[in-house]
């Protein structure tokens, strides 16, 4: 098969830096990238970075004598299999929706006869403005495909829809379009029609009405996975122990306290295609939850008798008609990480264990994670990265496994 070629239009927004990572992913996959950098885009990434990663010349000027002599703008607009706009700013979307052609990027979008994919990125108010909504509807009616935007924190300090989709997600959308998928299929995401259960956070096991046993889990990794799965179109039920986090948009959250409540909520959410157990479930709970507060009596301190909690991951992994097709567990270990993960995979009966080394200070409750994916086919080590990146990559992997 001949090498596929992308015409990559980089617009002017903070998210433009993600176009560099996208270019790297595409080149690694053997896809040719010919960049067009808008004047505004050049305020955020340099032509040199883009050219070096794309291994191609960067086009910026509509009225450039040398560029026009080498390749006219009409020819440029037809030279690729797909035109991708990353980030698609409110301005670029407005120009494309109205057929304006005052610069090279907009002229290319007007002149091309190839499919177009846009990854919007803008402030939440701009995204929700009726003008942008009209432009989005016009572009969709014109057959333009969209990936994202995501919901989340933005560089401008606000929160909501408008954050550009992650490069790995845009990459998948591009590969899907190059393989002939339609715009609606791309917009819905690869997990559209699938259901997932994600457990997250700690559990709290009561000792008496005022005291409980718990652990240091923040819930961040589980919440990030729930959000990443939802961004791929998945119908996600997030069963969460007590955390300080707000529910990710587009995710159904069921809040629980104890391991037994967590198991019941997971079972109530079945059937599902996918279960991801990220919660740090308390292994034991006090045998008797006193109905009244335990008081000091002056004698020896009270003995705390513990009994084992149900294993949610093992229960969901048990063979049977209700077993989700893919069951993924996590293993937080301080030593012999992969050996313990292998043993856990066998003991729990799940399909993958995402093993993370929590011996380094700052992992529990922190924003970064270093993980290995352990499955029957072997071990894959990932470099230390943000929990949100781990979530995006994992969600992508899960989508591939369920495809």
Q: Report, as residue numbers or ranges, the catalytic residues.
A: 156
Hey, which residues between 101 and 140 contact ligand CTP (CB under 6 A)?
none
Measure the CA angle with vertex 337, ends 335 and 343; round to 5°: 120
**CB nearer ligand CTP, residue 5 or residue 261:** 261
Q: Is 394 in the site for ligand CTP (CB under 6 A)?
A: no
Give the count of residues interacting with ligand CTP (CB under 6 A). Answer: 16
Distance in angstroms (rounded) separating the CA atoms of residues 389 and 399 = 15
Q: How far is the CB of 294 from ligand CTP (least distance, A)?
A: 25
Q: How far is the CB of 222 from ligand CTP (least distance, A)?
A: 9
Q: Report whether 192 contacts 235 (CB < 8 A).
A: no
Distance in angstroms (rounded) separating the CA atoms of residues 202 and 330 = 13
Q: Is 342 in the site for ligand CTP (CB under 6 A)?
A: no
The stretch near ligand CTP (CB under 6 A) out of 136-144, 330-338, 372-380, 388-396 is 330-338
User: How many Cβ atoms from other residues are within 10 Å of residue 269's Cβ?
Assistant: 20
Of 295, 220, 235, 303, the residue nearest 270 (C-alpha): 235
Residues 304-323: x where in contact with ligand CTP by CB under 6 A, - otherwise, as a string: -----x-xxx----------
Q: How far is the CB of 80 from ligand CTP (least distance, A)?
A: 43
**CB nearer ligand CTP, residue 60 or residue 317:** 317
Of 98, 87, 85, the residue nearest 6 (C-alpha): 85
Residues 191-210: x where in contact with ligand CTP by CB under 6 A, - otherwise, as a string: --------x-----------
**CB nearer ligand CTP, residue 238 or residue 332:** 332
Distance in angstroms (rounded) separating the CA atoms of residues 221 and 372 = 14
Q: How far is the CB of 333 from ligand CTP (least distance, A)?
A: 7
Task: Give the phi and the psi of residue 249 in degrees, each rounded to 5.
Answer: -65, 145
Q: Report whether 145 contacts 177 (CB < 8 A).
A: yes
Q: Is 337 in the site for ligand CTP (CB under 6 A)?
A: no
Task: Give residue for tokens 């959410």.
Answer: 269
Q: Is 329 in the site for ligand CTP (CB under 6 A)?
A: yes
Q: How far is the CB of 378 from ligand CTP (least distance, A)?
A: 19
Hey, which residues between 151 and 170 contact ligand CTP (CB under 6 A)?
none
145 in helix, strand or coil? strand
DSSP 201-266: SB--EEEETTEEE-----SHHHHHHHHHHHHTT-EEEEEE-S-SPPPPTTEEEEE--SHHHHHHHH
The stretch near ligand CTP (CB under 6 A) out of 100-108, 317-325, 327-335, 363-371 is 327-335
Q: How far is the CB of 349 from ligand CTP (least distance, A)?
A: 11
Q: What tokens were used for 148? A: 């994202």
Hey, which residues between 268 and 287 contact ligand CTP (CB under 6 A)?
277-279, 281, 283
Q: Is 222 in the site for ligand CTP (CB under 6 A)?
A: no
Q: What tokens were used for 176? A: 């899907």
**CB nearer ligand CTP, residue 51 or residue 343:** 343
Q: What tokens were used for 209? A: 């009405």
Q: Is 330 in the site for ligand CTP (CB under 6 A)?
A: yes
Chain positions contacting ligand CTP, by CB under 6 A: 199, 259, 277-279, 281, 283, 309, 311-313, 329-332, 344
């Amino acid at each position: 098969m001949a090498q596929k070629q992308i015409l990559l239009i980089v617009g002017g927004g903070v998210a433009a830096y993600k176009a560099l990572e996208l270019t790297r992913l595409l080149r690694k996959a053997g896809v040719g990238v010919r960049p067009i950098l808008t004047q505004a885009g050049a305020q955020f990434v340099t032509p040199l970075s883009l050219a070096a990663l794309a291994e191609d010349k960067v086009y910026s000027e509509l009225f450039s004598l040398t560029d026009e002599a080498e390749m006219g703008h009409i020819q440029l607009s037809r030279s690729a299999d797909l035109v991708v706009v990353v980030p698609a700013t409110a301005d670029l979307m407005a120009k494309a929706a109205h057929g304006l052609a005052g610069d090279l990027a907009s002229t290319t979008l007007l002149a091309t006869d190839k499919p177009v994919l846009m990854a919007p990125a803008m402030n939440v108010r701009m995204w929700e403005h009726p003008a942008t909504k009209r432009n989005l509807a016009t572009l969709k009616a014109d057959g333009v495909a969209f990936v994202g935007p995501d919901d989340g924190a933005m560089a401008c300090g606000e929160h909501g829809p408008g954050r550009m989709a992650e490069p790995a997600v845009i990459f998948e959308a591009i590969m899907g379009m190059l393989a002939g998928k339609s715009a609606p299929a791309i917009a819905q995401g690869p997990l559209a029609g699938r259901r997932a259960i994600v457990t997250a956070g700690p559990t709290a096991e009561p000792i008496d009405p005022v005291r409980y046993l718990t652990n240091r889990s923040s819930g961040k990794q589980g919440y990030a996975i729930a959000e990443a799965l939802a961004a791929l179109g998945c119908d996600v039920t997030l069963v969460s122990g007590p955390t300080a986090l707000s529910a990710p948009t587009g995710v159904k959250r069921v809040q629980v306290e104890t391991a037994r409540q967590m198991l019941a909520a997971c079972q109530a959410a079945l059937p599902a295609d996918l279960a991801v157990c990220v919660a740090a479930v308390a292994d034991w709970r006090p045998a008797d939850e006193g109905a009244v507060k335990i008081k000091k009596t002056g004698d020896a301190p009270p003995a705390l008798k513990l009994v084992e909690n149900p294993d949610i991951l093992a229960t969901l992994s048990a063979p049977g008609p209700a077993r989700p097709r893919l069951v993924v567990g996590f293993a937080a270990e301080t030593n012999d990480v992969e050996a313990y993960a292998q043993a856990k995979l066998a003991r729990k009966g799940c399909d993958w264990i995402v093993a993370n080394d929590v011996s380094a200070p700052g992992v529990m409750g922190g924003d970064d994670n270093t993980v290995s994916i352990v499955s029957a086919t072997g071990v894959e080590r990932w470099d230390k990265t943000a929990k949100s990146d781990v979530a995006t990559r994992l969600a992508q992997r899960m989508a591939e496994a369920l495809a």
